[in-house]
Amino acid sequence: MSTDNERERDEEAANLPEKQGRERLAAPVRRTGMFGATTTGDTSGFGGLQVRGSAPAHSQRPFTDPDDPRTADFDRVADDLEAALGEDAGAVERVEAARGELTFHVRREALLELVRVLRDDPSLRYELCTGVAGVHFPDDAGRELHAVYHFRSLTHNSEIRVTTTCPDADPHVPSIVSVYPTNDWHEREAWDFFGLVFDGHPALTRIQMPDDWHGHPQRKDYPLGGIPVEYRGATVPPPDERRSYQ
Amino acid sequence: MTVTEDYIDASGGDWDDVIEKAQATSAERLVVNMGPQHPSTHGVLRLILTLDGETCTEARVGIGYLHTGIEKNLEYRTWTQGTTFVTRMDYLTPLFNETAYCLAVENLLDITDRVPERANVIRVMMMELNRMASHFVAMATFGMELGATTVMTNGFREREMILDIFELVTGLRMNHAYIRPGGVSQDLPPGTVGKVRELLKEMPKRIGTMRKLLDENPVYLARTRDVAHLSLSGCMALGITGPLLRASGLAWDLRKAKPYCGYEDYEFDVPVSDGGDVYARYRVRMAEMEESLKIVEQCLDRLRPGPVMIKDAKIGWPAKLALGPDGLGNSPDHIAHIMSGSMEALIHHFKLVTEGFRVPAGQAYAAVESAKGELGCYAVSDGGTRPYRVHFRDPSFTHLQAVAAMCEGGTVADVIAAVASIDPVMGGVDR
């Protein structure tokens, strides 16, 4: 009974408005203004608006929400993974359970060992990797590049996401092709578009862009071209510089 | 195999010189570029084959010739406009692309349960029709590549029946942008149910004709039996799903394993074969079309009048489309309402159409069982009106990695059969 009370007290403390306010102000500013104008043209009064992003989500156990059938096996998977990793359990930095999906944020050094466990441990058996997606967050200092993997277990009919990050200055992530050969092309694609270097990949070359291409086009800092118009030397500005609603 | 230092560049110059040089050397090894403009490579696939006589000793795949930057383009459009782009990825399975994308967006918005029942039934019906259309093209192009042009003309003719329905419902034969976050863009027009019933009556006969043509055809069997074999463990290692996996003996189907859009309410079987060769893949595809017909029939029975777009004015578009003398557009009633009736309605319409809706920050992965395998859409939002990042896991992209495993050690002619049995669509591979 007392433990129940304690837990309630902890939950209340976590939800105090003052704490939430502090967290909110600590979150990075995602955008200012409302209508895309940076000059004095915006007389709407929304020019000073600051919209903040959300702090990195960190879910607490239990991950399984009894009201949400999609989350039914989350606690089981988290327990099994912790047990299978043993003393390497520190590889998982944080766990996020949101929208019926379970995400493990993993240190990049431990990624290869972790996916081996995911594939081989009988209680986990994630046989299928559906590839890796790069995501570029230029404002997330020290963790600019994210590599996002989705795994599917046909044995247990379960699905998880594993995310690892690396800084722009050192864009290295271990390749998991040795465990999941299907990731060969997927990793080449992430290298091509984001400049993520997958160490240990058998032949990390461009796959979609021409071999002599410079730069990695899906990064947020990749310069986009405008369109010249045959009218007094005018150009249509690149899409990220056009005035638009945000 | 004789390894030689000689090499002959046949990419230009005087043909006589090439022949002279080729005759002077004893090397048997030949590296051939098949594609990207070869008629049997399904568009712009490039195969780099090393041949020793008739045997293919190495098969490598070059892709990227149809890369159009759709994923990057999405980042500069509203969430709704995104469907217009994703539908063009794998252009033979447009409705699967749209559904995968919309399911991911709906999960981010947390409105999955609020999508109207009628919209879900329409989605399932359109997807199953699309599965048949895609399988018909798979078989038609396969026939053409093996020299069986009757299979080609039959396949495309059967597919035309389905495309007619698509045109009636969405206004377009391909690139529909019909399925939208929150539902579908418009209700079924009058006459749709009758037309689908007609198809349900006619199609079993047409599939029967196709089966008669191919099932026991000795030429077809000779070209497909025990060709391009891929075992179940090979499939798992290479991440292969869909008809290819089911033709290797595993009855894995996301419609059964992780139902979406209400698939759990439909009765159908998952065809499976343990042949693991090109013929088994053909049989699985054929049987899947028959199962799709069953599902479409159940869809018609489940269709109940009701809304087809979520009842949330912040997400569902306010306009009702109507067919006018100059084509499909906003209904005159709606125009009258916003232009002369309600200024608030005009503002709302303008805001929703130009600015779009905001999607809470976060990430979501939605997967559907497309005609080709697991089609996944990973969407990231930063809380804005545009996607921060959208990544598609296209089954054709993953499956093409199996070309080496299927072709090496076989003959050149079998390479054609192997690639055709993968059924890659380069629009989806390159995106």
Distance from CA of B380 to the nearest CA of A (A): 9
Mean pLDDT of B14-37: 75
Burial class (CB in 10 A: 0-12, 13-18, 19+), B381: buried
Rounded distance between C-alpha atoms, residue B204 and residue A3, angstroms: 65
A239 touches chain B (CB under 8 A): yes
Distance from CA of B393 to the nearest CA of A (A): 7
Q: What is the pLDDT of residue A1?
A: 46
How many beta-carbon contacts under 8 Å exist across A and B?
110
Q: What is the pLDDT of residue B366?
A: 93
> A 7-26 residues with CB below 8 A of B?
none
The pair of structure tokens assigned to B10 is: 């046949």
Greatest mean pLDDT range, A110-114, B170-174, B365-369, B382-386: B365-369
Mean pLDDT of B170-183: 89
Does residue B127 contact residue B93 with C-beta atoms inside 8 Å? Answer: no
Is the four-CA dihedral B245, B430, B363, B182 of positive or negative sign? negative
Quick: pLDDT tens for B61-77: 888 888 998 999 999 98
B378 touches chain A (CB under 8 A): yes
Mean pLDDT of B47-71: 87
Mean pLDDT of B227-253: 91
| Pair type for strands A235-236 and A227-228 | antiparallel
Strand order in the sheet with A145-153: A92-98, A101-106, A158-166, A145-153, A128-136
B411 touches chain A (CB under 8 A): no
- Secondary structure of residue B323 in the 3-state scheme: strand
- Which of A53, A157, A208 is the closest to B257 by Cβ? A157
B72–A218 C-beta distance less than 8 A: yes
- Secondary structure of residue B417 in the 3-state scheme: helix
Does residue A152 contact residue A128 with C-beta atoms inside 8 Å? Answer: yes
Q: A85 falls in which pLDDT band (50, 70, 90)?
A: confident
Quick: pLDDT tens for B203-216: 999 999 999 988 88
- The mean of the pLDDT values for chain B is 87
A209–B383 C-beta distance less than 8 A: no
B233 touches chain A (CB under 8 A): no
- The mean of the pLDDT values for chain A is 83
Which position has the token pair 């766990």? A95
Quick: pLDDT tens for B321-371: 777 777 777 788 888 888 888 888 888 888 888 888 889 888 999 999 999
* Interface test mutation site (partner B, options A128, A179, A187, A227, max chain B beta carbons within 10 A): A128
Q: Give the burial string for B84-123 (b: 16+ CB within 10 Å, else e).
A: bbbbbbbbbbbbbbbbbbbbbbbbbbebbeebbebbbbbb
Residue B183 has pLDDT above 50, yes or no: yes
Q: What is the pLDDT of residue B47?
A: 87
* Interface test mutation site (partner B, options A127, A208, A216, A220, max chain B beta carbons within 10 A): A208
Q: What is the pLDDT of residue B39?
A: 63
Mean pLDDT of B107-122: 92
Higher local confidence (pLDDT), B18 or B177: B177
Rounded distance between C-alpha atoms, residue A194 and residue A179, angstroms: 22
- Sequence spans of domains, chain B: 79-313+361-430, 316-356
Higher local confidence (pLDDT), A230 or B411: B411
Mean pLDDT of A179-192: 92
The pair of structure tokens assigned to A162 is: 């594993």
Does residue B239 contact residue A128 with C-beta atoms inside 8 Å? Answer: yes
Q: Give the burial string for B291-301 (b: 16+ CB within 10 Å, else e).
A: bbbebbbbbee
Give the whole-number percent of chain B exceeding pLDDT 70. Answer: 95
Does residue B369 contact residue B255 with C-beta atoms inside 8 Å? Answer: yes
Q: A56 falls in which pLDDT band (50, 70, 90)?
A: low
Computed over its alpha carbons, how large is the radius of gyration of chain B?
A: 24
Q: Considering only A78-92, A116-130, A149-163, which range has the smallest mean pLDDT?
A: A78-92
B354–A209 C-beta distance less than 8 A: no
Q: What is the pLDDT of residue B333?
A: 84
B65 touches chain A (CB under 8 A): no
B250 touches chain A (CB under 8 A): yes
B237–A182 C-beta distance less than 8 A: yes
B361 touches chain A (CB under 8 A): yes
Distance from CA of B25 to the nearest CA of A (A): 32
| Pair type for strands B46-52 and B55-62 | antiparallel
Chain B positions touching A57 (Cβ under 8 A) are 362
Residue B2 has pLDDT above 50, yes or no: no
Computed over its alpha carbons, how large is the radius of gyration of chain A?
A: 22
- Secondary structure of residue B46 in the 3-state scheme: strand
- Which of B69, B239, B388 is the closest to A130 by Cβ? B239
- Which of B238, B385, B398 is the closest to A246 by Cβ? B385
- Secondary structure of residue B253 in the 3-state scheme: coil
B365 touches chain A (CB under 8 A): yes
**Closest chain B residue to A206, measured at CA:** B64
Residue B141 has pLDDT above 60, yes or no: yes
Quick: pLDDT tens for B267-326: 999 999 988 899 999 999 999 999 999 999 999 999 989 888 888 888 887 767 777 777
Mean pLDDT of B166-178: 89
Does residue A80 contact residue A123 with C-beta atoms inside 8 Å? Answer: yes
Q: B11 falls in which pLDDT band (50, 70, 90)?
A: low
Q: Considering only A5-19, A145-159, B232-246, which range has the smallest mean pLDDT?
A: A5-19
**Which listed CATH number (1.10.3210.10, 1.10.1060.10, 3.90.920.10, 1.10.645.10) goes with B79-313+361-430?**
1.10.645.10
B239 touches chain A (CB under 8 A): yes
Give the whole-number percent of chain A exceeding pLDDT 90. Answer: 27
Closest C-alpha among B118, B86, B89 to residue B105: B86
Higher local confidence (pLDDT), B324 or A134: A134
- Which of A53, A157, A193 is the closest to B361 by Cβ? A53
Chain B positions touching A183 (Cβ under 8 A) are 239
Q: What is the pLDDT of residue B93?
A: 93
Any idea which fold A55-216 has? Beta Polymerase; domain 2 (3.30.460)
Count the helix, strand and coil residues of chain A and give each as a percent rounded to the nearest 5: 30, 25, 50
Find the helix or strand (DSSP H, E) in which B15 lies: helix B15-24
Q: A164 falls in which pLDDT band (50, 70, 90)?
A: very high
Mean pLDDT of A89-114: 87
Does residue B226 contact residue B341 with C-beta atoms inside 8 Å? Answer: no
A135–B389 C-beta distance less than 8 A: yes
Is the four-CA dihedral B376, B382, B383, B388 of positive or negative sign? negative
Which position has the token pair 């479409």? B296
Residue B3 has pLDDT above 60, yes or no: no
Alpha carbon of A57 to those of A73, A89, A141, A243, B107: distances in Å?
20, 19, 17, 32, 17
Chain B positions touching A159 (Cβ under 8 A) are 258, 365
Higher local confidence (pLDDT), B98 or A76: B98
Does residue B50 contact residue B58 with C-beta atoms inside 8 Å? Answer: yes
Between the two ends of chain B, the Cα-to-Cα distance in Å is 39
Chain B positions touching A161 (Cβ under 8 A) are 363, 365
Mean pLDDT of A80-102: 83
B385 touches chain A (CB under 8 A): yes
Chain B positions touching A131 (Cβ under 8 A) are 239, 376, 393, 398
B106 touches chain A (CB under 8 A): no
Q: Considering only A178-192, B42-56, B165-179, which range has the smallest mean pLDDT?
A: B42-56
